[in-house]
């Protein structure tokens, strides 16, 4: 008998409760063989791109290295989960499959349901282990405060470097064919499922080792103190935010590991009697609020697995609610996706995402809000474009909840509307961020950025800017809309649509 430990978005060995469960039952259920499945259907989704595949590759390489150091074997397979489990269960005496309860979009939710049934039909036990305080079908497992207490006191279990051979399958079982290319840590495009190509030259690196390096960089008193004052500005957040989102999204770190480090840091501040302990505590609470929101959105998605697809209001469902078939719509969508709207703040955000795969929360929110309300783009189209760009795309939970808030199509009562002029003036006063990502505007005085769309072309020419999209010599597009006017109109339309009333629907809460 052997057990399969099926990694999904829990790509780590330390504090991995699915792994702990599997090892604890090795005597009864057999040694553990590690598995990762590259699913073609997942990679074909409009929310995924090659930058996720690169990050995942780095995570798997690091994981394989750690697993081999413990004496185990990680196998990677390409195929649908049912195909892969059919092959493995036919060739190996599989007694049990263990995985964590993954919080995903509606596709992943349906996939998990079918796997559960398939394994049951084939008399293979399936154990799913809770991760990050979210319980399948139930939302939060514990109130955040109770969870934090437990997480801070939990015994830390990090098997990296420990000889675990007596619990693990230590050689590739005979009869299991593996694609050599996949096992060698390359990105073999002929083997991997196809996904949208979207290179990311300055992306964060994946892997559990890298996750701990970033955690160590952030978890010190100075960083924590700077955090609350930094995250709204794209210039400061890049260095003073925790930058842990991609690692939390892919599970190279768990919430509990982060919570424990925060708790230790504050305990040390008390022990050493620092005189800024109150300030540190308040910054820690500010940070933990974000972790709590993360859990909240995951819980919401677990209870509303169709959050990425269903309309909540009748008027948004009408066939022509979004004129997605028109040429004007296609132009706007393309301009947004390529960062060619002629609104510097928006184009700088897109250029930053194209290069780095990351943007701070405030500017993500302003960007999505402008795309939906200012440009009138359909929330799903915008959500797909951004998901492909975000290296930290979390499979859907935070992402679709935030897209719903930004577009006004969700269940949240208040309508969000950002003024691009205000964000530019307040968060990028010297236009440092906008100039960094829009080199053709570097000579333009900072104050012009805050009302760029009101400036006639002649006023910009002396600073090397030639507006236009088609004429020779043009180096920056004409503003596609006046952002403040366009978002005001968009907000009115969304408000009217919401008056059509919510569509009665099934949620797991009702």
Ligand X SMILES: Cc1cc2nc3c(=O)[nH]c(=O)nc-3n(C[C@H](O)[C@H](O)[C@H](O)COP(=O)(O)OP(=O)(O)OC[C@H]3O[C@@H](n4cnc5c(N)ncnc54)[C@H](O)[C@@H]3O)c2cc1C
**Which positions lie near ligand X, rule CB under 6 A?**
231, 241-245, 248-249, 290-291, 293-294, 297, 360-361, 364-365, 368, 390, 392-394, 398-399, 402-403, 406
Shortest reach from residue 387's CB to ligand X, in Å: 6
Number of other CB atoms surrounding residue 492 within 10 Å: 12
Measured between alpha carbons, how far is 468 from 13 in angstroms, rounded to an integer?
53
Coil, helix or strand for 129? strand
Shortest reach from residue 463's CB to ligand X, in Å: 32
Look-up of token digits 């799913």: 128
Token pair belonging to 87: 């092959």
Give phi and psi for 145, each to the nearest 5. Answer: -60, -45
Shortest reach from residue 290's CB to ligand X, in Å: 3
Strand partners, 142: none
CB 104 within 8 A of CB 395: yes
Shortest reach from residue 292's CB to ligand X, in Å: 9
Closer residue to ligand X, CB minimum distance, 118 or 361: 361
Please name the helix (run of DSSP H) or strand (run of DSSP E) that holds residue 32, with its range, or none. strand 32-38
Cβ neighbours of residue 489 closer than 8 Å, sequence gap 6 or more = none
Shortest reach from residue 454's CB to ligand X, in Å: 27
Q: Which residue is nearest to ligand X (CB)?
A: 241
Q: What share of the chain is helix, strand, coil (3-state, %, to 5)?
A: 55, 10, 40
Shortest reach from residue 248's CB to ligand X, in Å: 4
Coil, helix or strand for 169? coil
Closer residue to ligand X, CB minimum distance, 17 or 293: 293
Measured between alpha carbons, how far is 160 from 229 in angstroms, rounded to an integer?
36
Shortest reach from residue 240's CB to ligand X, in Å: 9
Shortest reach from residue 365's CB to ligand X, in Å: 4
Closer residue to ligand X, CB minimum distance, 98 or 242: 242
Token pair belonging to 470: 């088609």
Shortest reach from residue 368's CB to ligand X, in Å: 4
Closer residue to ligand X, CB minimum distance, 80 or 436: 436
Nearest C-alpha neighbor of 30 from the set 12, 13, 5: 5
Measured between alpha carbons, how far is 435 from 509 in angstroms, rounded to an integer?
48
CA-based end-to-end distance of the chain: 42
Classify each residue of 107-130 as buried b or exposed e, where b means 16 or more C-beta atoms within 10 Å of its C-beta: bbbebbeebeebbeeeebebbbbe
Number of other CB atoms surrounding residue 153 within 10 Å: 9
Closer residue to ligand X, CB minimum distance, 98 or 252: 252
Closer residue to ligand X, CB minimum distance, 236 or 455: 236
């Amino acid at each position: 008998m052997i057990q399969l430990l099926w990694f999904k978005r829990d790509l780590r060995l330390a504090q991995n409760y699915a792994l702990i469960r599997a090892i604890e039952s090795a005597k009864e259920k057999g040694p553990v063989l590690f598995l990762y499945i590259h699913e073609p259907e997942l990679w074909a989704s409009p929310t995924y791109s090659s930058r996720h595949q690169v990050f995942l590759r780095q995570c798997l390489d690091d994981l394989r290295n750690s697993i081999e150091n413990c004496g185990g074997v990680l196998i990677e397979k390409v195929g649908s989960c049912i195909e892969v489990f059919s092959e493995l269960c036919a060739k190996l005496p599989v007694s049990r499959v263990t995985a964590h309860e993954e919080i995903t979009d509606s596709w992943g939710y349906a996939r998990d349901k079918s796997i559960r049934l398939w394994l049951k039909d084939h008399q293979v036990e399936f154990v799913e282990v809770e991760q990050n305080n979210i319980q399948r079908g139930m939302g939060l497992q514990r109130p955040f405060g109770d969870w934090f207490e437990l997480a801070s006191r939990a015994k830390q279990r990090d098997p990296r470097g420990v000889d675990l051979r007596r619990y693990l399958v230590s050689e590739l079982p005979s009869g299991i064919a593996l694609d050599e290319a996949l096992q060698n840590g390359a990105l073999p495009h002929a083997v991997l499922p196809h996904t949208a190509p979207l290179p990311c030259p300055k992306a964060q690196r994946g892997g559990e080792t890298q996750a701990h390096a970033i955690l160590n960089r952030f978890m010190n008193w100075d960083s924590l103190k700077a955090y609350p004052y930094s995250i709204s500005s794209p210039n400061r957040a890049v260095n003073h935010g925790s930058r842990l989102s991609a690692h939390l999204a892919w599970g190279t770190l768990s919430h509990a590991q982060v919570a424990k480090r925060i708790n230790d840091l504050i305990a040390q501040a008390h022990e050493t009697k620092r005189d800024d302990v109150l300030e540190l505590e308040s910054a820690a609470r500010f940070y933990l609020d974000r972790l709590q929101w993360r859990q909240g959105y995951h819980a919401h998605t677990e209870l509303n697995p169709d959050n990425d697809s269903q309309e909540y209001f009748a008027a948004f469902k009408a066939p022509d609610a979004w004129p997605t078939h028109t040429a004007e719509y296609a132009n706007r969508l393309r301009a947004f996706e390529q960062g060619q709207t002629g609104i510097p703040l928006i184009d700088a955000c897109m250029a930053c995402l194209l290069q780095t795969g990351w943007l701070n929360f405030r500017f993500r929110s302003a960007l999505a809000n402008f795309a939906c309300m200012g440009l009138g783009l359909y929330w799903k189209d915008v959500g797909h474009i951004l998901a492909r760009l975000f290296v930290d795309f979390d499979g859907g939970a935070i992402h679709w909840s935030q897209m719903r808030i930004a577009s006004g199509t969700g269940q949240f009562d208040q309508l969000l509307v950002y003024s691009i002029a205000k964000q530019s003036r307040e968060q990028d006063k010297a236009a440092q961020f906008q100039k960094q990502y829009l080199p053709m505007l570097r000579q333009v005085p900072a104050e012009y950025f805050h009302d760029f769309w009101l400036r006639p072309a002649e006023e910009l020419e002396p600073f090397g800017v030639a507006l236009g999209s088609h004429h020779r010599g043009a180096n920056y597009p004409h503003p596609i809309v006046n952002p403040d006017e366009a978002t005001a109109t968009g907000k009115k339309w969304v408000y009217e649509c919401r008056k059509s009333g919510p569509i009665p629907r099934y949620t797991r809460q009702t």
